[in-house]
Structure 1
Amino acid sequence: MSDWKWTSGNKFDLLENGEEFYPRVFACIANAKREVILETFILFEDKVGLQLHEALIAAARRGVEVDITIDGWGSPDFSPRFMASLAEAGVRVHVFDPGPRPFGWRPKVLRRMHRKIVVIDGEVAFVGGINYSADHLADYGPEAKQDYSVEIHGPLVAEIHRFCHAALAEGQRHSQYRQWWRWRRHLRNVADEMPNAGSAQGTFVIRDNRRHMNDIERHYRIAIRAARKRIVIANAYFFPGYGLIKELKRAARRGVDVRLILQGEPDMPIVKIAASMLYHHLIRSGVRIFEYCERPFHGKVAVADDEWATVGSSNLDPLSLALNLEANVVIRDRGFNAELSKKLEHLMQHSCKHIVEDDLEELKGWAWVRSFAAYHFARRYPGWASWLPRHVPRLFTPPAPRPATEKA
């Protein structure tokens, strides 16, 4: 990860929305023989969360080792029955804790575990932006989210598998030494080289608050700088740093077809306000902007030229690029690039509004001040973020409450 090693021999399958993602994950969990490791920002106790709950319990009861990690802020409190049944089956639930709360203040609350990863038996992995909640399904209605994940087979799975074990061990190393050594022994039994499953190259890239603080953003910038024909970035929360904005403008000025797919109907209105402040700077440089207007856009994907692509959990905003724990897969494969490009082209043609300069508010008076401040905030925020309190990720295991006794 730190050296961005490209691993060959992989197969990547794009999964769009919950309709494609959940059946594949649940089927793989149902077929698990040894181990399930799952990380997610959001797990709700709704129809999707209950399906996952059932699948994990069934796996644990047949002897599969199951570890799930949820974010303590993204996932709300669960019912006693929900947690107790997981514990009774042997599912190990870990909660990412932002740290102590002096005088009730949470100085690290902005640093979240935002990854969405699943690894099953060390043989198949999923990485993307889809949480476990019903709002990732079309039948949720107008607020259903548009999003993506990728199913991975091949040697790269071993890299993701090692990372997930290391994350569990690091998060609990102060209190569970025995579990750490059990994981170490298990890791030695996992082959370093998985059999080839395809011809695609890939690398697993994380963002943390220590050694990998800007790895994901650097991958984006390298791809933008290298592009000669086209760049399409589809991102839910777009408010990147100055360096990435500058690379996009330079690419457009040298003749690259640069397109952004951003939220037109965001789940948080402030997202659109923040992104629109940068529209003038980008459109005047030749960047084409499309707002997705069917429903909230939650994806974090991109393609460049005919081979490069990325799918993951990282938005292009201050939280993801400077604070959260994130994970993306970067892919070099013409077939995968073509498939994702086709999906994004369909969005632009059928579900987006092309924003042109005439659509924008004229920058004068307060609008000019607001835009100026936003642009320079984007330029400076990575440095400011480094002043905020940091921490080594810490996991805790919540106590398993006893389910309330039902009355006859």
Structure 2
Amino acid sequence: MFVPCLPAASDVPTASQRGSRWSGWPGFAVGRSAAVLVSLLTAVALSACATPAPPVQGPLPPPPASTPAMAKVASAVEVVGAQGTLGPQRREQVIRNAAAQGSADLLKRQLAAMASFGDVDLYANNDTRLLIDGPATFEAMFAAISQAKKQILLESYIIEDAAVAQRLADLLVQRQQQGVQVAVIYDAIGSLSTQDAYFDRMRQSGVAVCAFNPVNPLKSRRYQDITKRDHRKILVVDNAVGFTGGINISAVYSSGSGSFGGSKGRQKPSKDGQDDSKAKDRGWRDTMIQVRGPAVQALHGLVLQTWQHQACGGALQPLPPPEGVAGQQLMRIIPSTPQDKENRIYTLLLGSIRAAQKSVYLTMAYFAPGQDMVDALSDAARRGVDVQLILPSQSDFSPVMHAGRSHYERLLKAGVKIHELKDAVLHAKTAVIDGVVSTVGSSNMDWRSFVHNNEVNAVVLGEDFGTAMTRMFEKDRDASHHIDLTAWQHRPVLQRGKEYFYSLLEHWW
């Protein structure tokens, strides 16, 4: 009997995201037994499906054998500045400016590693701001929306009908009534429990609203396989300021996490390394980035592209970028879709880790990365690179957490340092490599992100932003429990069993 491949349960709103009841299914309480049942049913369904294609095809290119010359690096990339595409001399100068922040040789090696996987499109003259947790993110996003003059484009996996979303809807309707074009696209699975009335109110006020890949194919002009989801989080205002990262429009972000001054204050991490059952009560730990400058054009174009691809009603107008230079940061915007032959976010991370000489700091909500990525992390640690991971101690979807833990022993033996965040539910997807390659995005390090979802990561090149990212990592590390190899080897048999079982389905989470 054929069993259709379904979205992993991590893509379906859970009780931890929506409250004690899943509003999409009135009267049904999602408890521990229900979560176990969902996991088992998902496992049965997935066992009938073909193994998904890997996110990279063919042999991997080797990392740079030596530090390349600046001219060679510049010739391997394309750079867009405030006035358009840059010529060879200006392109080389922009890279020199980024290298002048520090660690020039490391930056050149990393750019060469990126170029070995194909085209590298860079954006110069950007201003960037790191946004930590929900309160700071929503404050910045709502401020930008309030100042919109021409257009607001919002693309979000989850829009939850909670207080923060009501405030958002009020602002969007207000700007629409004042002549601003407003468009919202949300994922039909991610926002499944949000009642139609929430979106209908905006539609009736003139806001263009579109569901990505609706569950009911009759509601879509271009229906796709239900496993293909839009996991991006993008806001673009007037093509002048953009936001992207891991934060959904959801009540779980109403307070900050314990690590960064959440409403319940800083909590000391538990010492026993076991799951922190109170972590979910202390908010969710996540990260976004605010961008001004040419890189915003790429985010703007992605929303327009998704809107068109889904045949959403109403035409969205492309806007010219604002004049002037916003800042000095050099960036990449890396999108991925299930239609890609190779996942560029995956190749960025894999190539940067394999080329690393100094450090690899990953903070990852869902870590089920596959063999190539585990090999790269282990090899980096063995050659003396400081490889550290911050992973969850508590998750809204535990099968991914257990699948990731199945790799711990091998990673620890190779010298990788692993920490589990204890202060909050970890939902961030960030990395800083060699202090010069920083990425903030929607993509987890798991097969669902690499193969089945629309994702987007923003990459900032240079030591200035890398230093801010490293400070953020260190603060999260201080709020985490360090995993000791000897203690890990004595973990309970039941825990080992969970790791083994869920690792069998690692390519499906």
Settle same-fold status: TM greater than 0.5. yes
Cross-structure match for 1:406: none
Q: Which amino acid aligns with 1:33?
A: K
Query: Following the alignment from structure 1 to structure 2, what is the Cα–Cα distance between the partners of residues 112 and 252?
Result: 34
Matched, 1:144 2:283: yes
CA distance in 2, matches of 1:99, 1:84: 18
- CA drift at 1:88: 2.3
Matches of 2:291 and 2:242, distance apart in 1: 5
Distance 2:427 2:307 in 1: 27
Give the corresponding residue for 2:292. 153
Q: 1:24 aligns with which of 106, 122, 140?
A: 140
Confirm or deny that 1:227 pairs with 2:356. yes
1:98 Cα deviation from its structure 2 partner: 5.3
Distance 1:366 1:20, change over 3 A: closer
CA contact (8 A) 2:213 2:224 kept: no
Q: Which runs of structure 2 are paired with 1:256-271 in the superposition (5 Å)?
A: 256-271=385-400
Determine the C-alpha separation between the residues in 1 that align with 2:195 and 2:484.
49
Q: 1:39-118 residue pairs with structure 2 within 5 A?
A: 39-79=155-195, 81-97=197-213, 108-118=225-235
Runs (5+) with no aligned partner, structure 1: 386-408
Structure 1 residue 238 corresponds to structure 2 residue 238 = no
- 1:127 lines up with 2:266 in the alignment: no
Equivalent position SS for 2:427: coil
Q: Is 2:483 the partner of 1:355?
A: yes
Shift of 1:304: 0.8
Instruction: Assess if the C-alpha contact under 8 Å between 2:359 and 2:434 holds in 1.
Output: yes
Aligned-pair identity in percent equals 28
Which of 429, 438, 442 is the equivalent residue of 1:300?
Answer: 429
127-136 vs 355-364, which deviates more?
355-364
1:172 aligns with 2:311: yes
Residue 338 of structure 1 corresponds to 467
Q: Counterpart in 2 of 1:394?
A: none
**CA contact 2:213–2:310 (8 Å) conserved in 1:** no
Which position in structure 2 is the counterpart of 1:33? 149
- 1:155·1:195 contact (CA, 8 Å) conserved in 2? no
In the alignment, the residues of structure 2 paired with residue 207 and residue 80 of structure 1 have an alpha-carbon distance, to the nearest angstrom, of 29
In the alignment of these two chains, the number of paired residues is 367
CA contact (8 A) 1:37 1:66 kept: yes
Change (3 A) 1:37 1:212: farther
Q: Distance in 1 between matches of 2:216 and 2:198?
A: 26
Separation in structure 2 between the aligned mates of residue 331 and residue 273 of structure 1, nearest angstrom: 31
Residue 308 of structure 2 aligns to a residue in which SS? Answer: helix
When the two structures are superposed, what TM-score results if normalisation uses the length of structure 1?
A: 0.83
Separation (CA, whole Å) in 1 of partners of 2:179 and 2:349: 41
Matched with 1:190 is 320
Distance in 1, matches of 2:494 and 2:148, equals 58
RMSD (Å) for aligned C-alpha atoms: 2.7
Rounded Cα–Cα distance in structure 2 between residues aligned with 1:295 and 1:270: 18
SS for the counterpart of 2:339 is coil
Task: Report the Cα offset of residue 367 of structure 1.
Answer: 7.8
1:171-223, CA deviations, whole angstroms, 9 ceiling, x for partnerless residues?
A: 107xx5xx4xx54xx33x514x8532111111111110113641101000111
1:273 deviation in Å?
1.5
Q: 1:232, 1:260 within 8 Å by CA — same for their partners in 2? A: yes
Relative to structure 1, is the Cα distance of residues 306 and 23 closer, same or farther in structure 2, using a 3 angstrom cutoff? same
SS of 2:435 mapped into structure 1: coil
Q: In the alignment, what sits opposite 1:276? A: 405
Q: 1:80 to 1:243 in 2, by over 3 A?
A: closer
Which position in structure 2 is the counterpart of 1:3?
A: 119
The Cα of 1:298 is off from its aligned counterpart by: 0.3
Q: Can you list the C-alpha shifts for 1:126-184, whole angstroms capped at 9, x where unaligned?
A: 010000111012249715210000000111111221221122112107xx5xx4xx54x
User: Secondary structure in 2 aligned to 1:142?
Assistant: helix
Counterpart Cα distance in 1 of 2:454 and 2:461: 24
Unaligned runs of 5+ in 2: 1-77, 79-117, 256-262, 265-279
Structure 2 distance, partners of 1:120, 1:289, is 38
Bigger shift: residues 123-132 or 77-86:
77-86
TM (norm. structure 2) is 0.67
| Alignment-mate amino acid for residue 413 of structure 2 | R
